[in-house]
Structure 1
């Protein structure tokens, strides 16, 4: 293929080829975790369809108007208004569509409208939201309706010519349907565009089914581990109406039990049958690309390369939600961000921090929404510190040499409660920091920023049952939890009450993760073992291995015993840092081996610049890596 986008990786190219040339007979699914280029893949697929199937027509849908606008904007860079049409509902405000996109739309008398049917049918690509695709159904611009119309027309012509008509219509008008962000739409909403491209169940004249080769190709793309459709009714949620069609399809055996599923790839890696999809460790601890044999006949694709976030930010989401398959491919300016040197971080090169606050929450509007004044104050202190506007004695003070490297608009604050959002926004505006992006989890899904601060608000467990009933908050809400953690590119900060959050197994794992990486500040946490290796991901393993290797190379006469996987080396405790009740590697049953010296190789540094004081290495995979890198006998 002659690629329009030369930056596509091999996974994305495989997905595009499968969409363009695959004959699956079932929907083709794309699983795209945050920052893996889902929309980029869909856009390239559309360009390639037009290149290889120039006579076909494509219906492209987004779960919302904003996602449809994003698709149309990217397509408009290559397609003129004669080929591309952005369909809007007449009730949509005119000023909601940006000026640059309006030439690809049609309006009459100040309202969005359908163009004449001849013009509509001539468009190669129609982009709309799933709900607004109903306009095509109302206009009878569907594959089924157009096939019946064609049948009547050709039957009349052939009866006059005394020749038999063809047994089937020449082709379906819409040969392809592509739906982006499908996990955010309800199953009923996705049924609308599906009904537009669906052919008549049997051919009108003969009663025979349409041949499989003539069926339109359907591609459904999204992330089932992020927020799904918002269903207000508790009864509907109890009947799984908040489960998207994409999530339901991925539970079917043909997708779920495939050897290329995320779960299968993880199990194969753990069984040492083959490395995780697309990756093989080199001797020096880095990774090289390797792709399993997966052809265009496989009816789905898992995108694994994250171009958004620092590896430390991906560690927990990767293992909790994506079967430990994510790989950090962020740009060097992200992975080597100057924010790694922020003094508030407890561990160098680990841009994650949990700030413990125990101040009580307060409510407004008869407990319809909540806010936490203590967390608001902490957030203001963090933001002003990061922007270099705090006093030198402030806890988040930024040294002079680091100032000016972060703008207010590059910081986002996320909270699940609208009252907290409003009060944080007001407090920042009072300080002239209105450019800081503040919103709830739903409004920031799909967004990203250099720095993200998450305010959990909840500080009393007595409201948790009510939160669950009302589908709010971030406790016992795994998808909302995942979205909040995956917006950050260079620095993620969570502010909350650890003792309340730990009742949720997801949050308990995050607290464990923070503790073992020395990324927690605040009151001591009960019942959290900082020696635990729960949710220990491959990314965390590789990060620890890299920093352990660097530490050995920088320290002359380093003993191998410090690299023993069972040994847990703890940072020296300081005020405000949670401890593990005095546990030591010896008390945990750590073993030692003979002290054989490791000397740095020729040209290796011997400086003391690494401030990492502790690390955790665990598991047989790490042992294997140590054997490869250092030729140990373990």
Structure 2
């Protein structure tokens, strides 16, 4: 059925509707002084320094300090981001700044036109290449040469976070964010379900979670769906939303994710069970330039469907009210606040991958949408895995404060959600449908107390067993011992290791050319993961030089939530007294839980064994590889 679009038919937030929420001068002063004591501080600055010091010492969030602490730490990050961009302008030497420039960053630049006139133009960084950047502008420019580039810090998300804090009332903090009790929705009691996916019926934890989410058993406290790797978290969310759609005809759902790719995946999966006329994928305007990368089924039910470059921004939005399921990123959801959508429009708010968002970011799709003043109008569902990577904070100074802890992780340690796992408020999924048992065993015992069950089909997880390159033919996990040299490019703090990269290339060439156990392996079935951006770039270039660019190379952050039949990991650090951020349990967990059938880790055991977790992993490999780690493959013939 074709959707009728009502373009521009109701009001949604524009950037200029937001207050500026300027950071106080006191925060700038402390930042510029690196938060060190000074006799020059006034009483207000000394008081603020004491609050920062308390936060740095690990002081937890409480009901009393919740709003001021979240605001202060967010302001420090805001200042840092703005400070980083303050001097980020380019006249001739772009390469000096390439490491700091990211996609979607705003840019203002001066151009000299063919008429010799100079004018200023704004745009967005579209792509960062090895030696240049591609900048997107809404109109073609008659440009003779670019004189100056000035990169701009984007504050819209910060402003939405400050607004959420401003509108947050103390009673809501107590009932939702520090809940120690729940009442549930006594008017709901759905106990019989006709499943969209029949396999759900045999999974006790999935059935429990879906039933309790639909019945809003945790209300007003959030319901937590704890989804370890490969346990079907997304399938559970999709089924829960589908059941709400079917069983509660008057209920509307807002489902948000921390990234556009995750929101697109949810949308695509929901379109398999819910008519497109009832689903709306709400994109930020900046996504318009990437329309070609969005699946057609998702694009058709979105506000990008009829929008094109050059249209006035007020025509960019359409009426979302007829659509029962709305999907967007958490930050884009903030544009619904202050719109003319009725305050009780959404009965459920789902936040997927909540564990990778700052706590203050998770407030944006809640306050003003599912919470209005002291009135809580929507049931909140938080989905993710607190054992995997948390928020990415651009300022290292804040990484040992509560600013780097997600809402999901913090409340998962709360008494209401503690180890007994009261099914009325939390469900941990346990069946892993991704990995061979040998690949699951170590992370399961190390990070999940052995609670996960290996349930992947043999067709998916066992086809590499018997490969002649395995030290133990029944154990599809290799630790390949390489002692390389850690290196750094000039003007970059990131690291790379050429010998490890060569070893990765060798494995890829062997697998693609010869296959595994008689099975041909496509390049797209192989993923390479490495924790350092410089190694990502180095391995990408190496594979491209050998016509193997179909192999996806990414960082740990880029692979979170992803999987591949074969994963190869390059550890990079070698002959080093320090292991850097390799000593991070969440990073290790993500890295070791992406593979379905075969995992190969390339690294220096002497360096890694300085870290307890990696030492245990290497011992696990030694025990199962007949006591010897793989080595010297690079010198063997293909």
Q: TM-score range by the shorter chain?
A: 0.5 to 0.7
Going from structure 1 to structure 2, the CA distance change for 1:504 and 1:453 (only over 3 Å counts) comes to same
User: 1:63 aligns to what?
Assistant: 258
Deviation at 1:28, TM superposition (A): 0.5
SS at match of 1:238: coil
Matches of 1:215 and 1:176 in 2, distance apart? 9
Deviation at residue 257 of structure 1 after TM alignment: 4.1
Q: Which residue of 2 aligns with 1:321?
A: 447
Q: Are 2:298 and 1:101 aligned?
A: yes
Structure 2 equivalent of residue 301 of structure 1: 427
Aligned to 2:493: 368
Please name the residue that 1:19 is paired with.
Answer: 213
Aligned to 1:437: 552
Corresponding residue of 1:499? 606
Select the residue among 478, 482, 485 that pairs with 1:357.
Answer: 482
Unaligned regions of 5+ residues in structure 1, if any? 148-171, 203-209, 262-293, 390-397, 468-472, 525-574, 577-634
Corresponding residue for 2:367?
Answer: 195
Does 1:478 pair with 2:603?
A: no
1 CA distance for matches of 2:318 and 2:275? Answer: 17
Cross-structure match for 2:6: none
The CA distance in 2 between the partners of 1:360 and 1:51, in whole Å, is: 58
- 1:2 paired with 2:127, answer no
Contact 2:529 2:554 survives alignment (8 Å):
yes
TM-score (norm 1): 0.65
CA distance, structure 1, for counterparts of residue 312 and residue 302 of structure 2: 8
Give the count of matched residue pairs: 433
- The 1:523/1:301 distance shift into structure 2, 3 A limit, reads closer
Residues 91 and 112, structure 1, Cα contact 8 Å, conserved in 2: no
Q: What secondary structure is seen at the aligned counterpart in 1 of 2:427?
A: strand
Q: Is the 8 A contact 1:88 1:113 kept in 2?
A: no
CA contact (8 A) 2:210 2:240 kept: yes
The residue number in structure 2 matching 1:344 is 469
Q: Is 2:337 aligned against 1:137?
A: yes
How many Å separate the matches in 2 of 1:66 and 1:115?
A: 24
Deviation at 1:509, TM superposition (A): 0.9
Question: Aligned in 2, Cα 1:114/1:351: closer, same or farther, shift over 3 Å?
Answer: farther
Matches of 1:44 and 1:428 in 2, distance apart?
Answer: 39
Residues 443-462 of structure 1: CA distance to partner in whole angstroms, max 9, x if unpaired? 12122111111000100324
Q: Secondary structure at the match of 1:423?
A: helix
Distance in 2 between the 1:247 and 1:7 partners?
A: 29
Q: Secondary structure in 1 aligned to 2:411? A: helix
Counterparts of 1:199 and 1:49, CA distance in 2: 20
Q: TM-score, normalised by structure 2?
A: 0.64
Asked if the contact 1:356–1:498 (Cα under 8 Å) also holds between the matched residues in 2, the reply is: yes
How far the C-alpha of 1:349 sits from its partner, in A, is 1.5
1:449 alignment partner in structure 2: 564
Q: 1:140 to 1:241 in 2, by over 3 A?
A: farther
Q: Secondary structure at the match of 1:492?
A: strand
Residue of structure 1 aligned with 2:625, choices 510, 515, 518: 518
The alignment's C-alpha RMSD in Å is 2.4
Larger Rg: 1
| Structure 1 residue 215 displacement after superposition | 3.9
Alignment-derived partner of residue 267 in structure 1: none
Cα pair 1:58 1:126 within 8 Å, conserved? yes
Match of 1:182 in 2: 354
Residue 243 of structure 2 aligns with which residue?
48
Q: Distance in 1 between matches of 2:372 and 2:337?
A: 13
1:138, CA displacement in angstroms? 4.0
Alignment partner of 1:489 out of 575, 578, 596? 596
- Rounded to whole Å, the distance in 2 between the matches of 1:497 and 1:225 is 25
**1:23–1:217 contact (8 Å) kept in structure 2:** no
What is the DSSP-based 3-state SS (H/G/I as helix, E as strand, rest coil) of the residue aligned with 1:225? Answer: coil
Deviates more, 1:409-418 or 1:90-99: 90-99
For 1:97 and 1:138, locate their aligned partners in 2 and report how far apart those are by CA, in whole Å: 28
Q: Answer yes or no: is 1:379 the counterpart of 2:504.
A: yes
Q: Deviations over 1:359-395 (max 9, x none)?
A: 2122112452221121122112222222335xxxxxx
Q: Work out which of the residue numbers 267, 275, 284 in structure 2 matches 1:72.
A: 267
Once the two structures are TM-superposed, the CA of residue 442 in structure 1 deviates from its matched residue by 1.3
Deviation at 1:59, TM superposition (A): 0.8
Which of 86, 108, 111 is equivalent to 2:281?
86
* CA displacement, residues 583-630 of structure 1 (integer Å, 9 cap, x when unaligned): xxxxxxxxxxxxxxxxxxxxxxxxxxxxxxxxxxxxxxxxxxxxxxxx
